[in-house]
Structure 1
């Protein structure tokens, strides 16, 4: 979706609202395609005393796999984004301002798709207190206890024999 910003660039105080849905179902993240539902985008571009300000909010439900217990789960994902827009920059080192092309057009879908991707979590947990899988027997510690036989430290095996316990 391209926004034509010529009209509001000349009129301070004007606003250009926008709303659309992005299809990011082809997005691969950690070997999965977590964005199975469309991403709902709402936002606006405002001319505040000659400065164009882009504000957007993106929301969807992600289908993920827990990094600790490997169970599938769903999670609401919301990303808010705000940036200034400019037709030209005096200082080329300013990364906080998005540079518009010569005809004052902004491909907002491409920009916000990149922003959504950059805001994806690197670690996904089904809950903050997820216990994960036992590294020995593979039991899901959230639902069952570990099935591993407890090994006695070899340094204490003689003491266990003296106490009459099985090794």
Structure 2
């Protein structure tokens, strides 16, 4: 199986994609990302950004599913897990096989989400092992971060994304 990249996604030339990897509209994968869908599939949702040196991998019984408007910080490792929409995964965080991160959650930099952990929506997770320390609605700020990346790469590479009605720095983009 070969990677499937939406024509309006951005994948830096220094990215390594192998196997069943699906990249959605306006998603962006930055230099040094490794996504290896060898025994299952990897899906990166619309408007999500996977930053430098992130590793995405799968297990026989666990794909790696990344929802829409997700930001995955530099150096994070996601293995056979599900990340719902509007989530921020901090730099160097690790999310292990079978874990599910609920919509609107933040996984702090360096945190470890253990195998099969289920993180409720709108949670803040910190530490090793990761613990939910707060639940709070952070959708707008996470969404704005994803929009920022979408807009910045679009300008940089001369692509005009459909940005009608979205928020950037709290302002509606027309």
Which has the larger Rg? 1
Query: Fold conserved (TM > 0.5)?
Result: no
Query: TM-score of the superposition, structure 2-length normalised?
Result: 0.20
Greater relative contact order (Cα 8 A, min sep 6): structure 1 or 2?
1
Query: TM-score of the superposition, structure 1-length normalised?
Result: 0.20
**Larger relative helix fraction:** 1
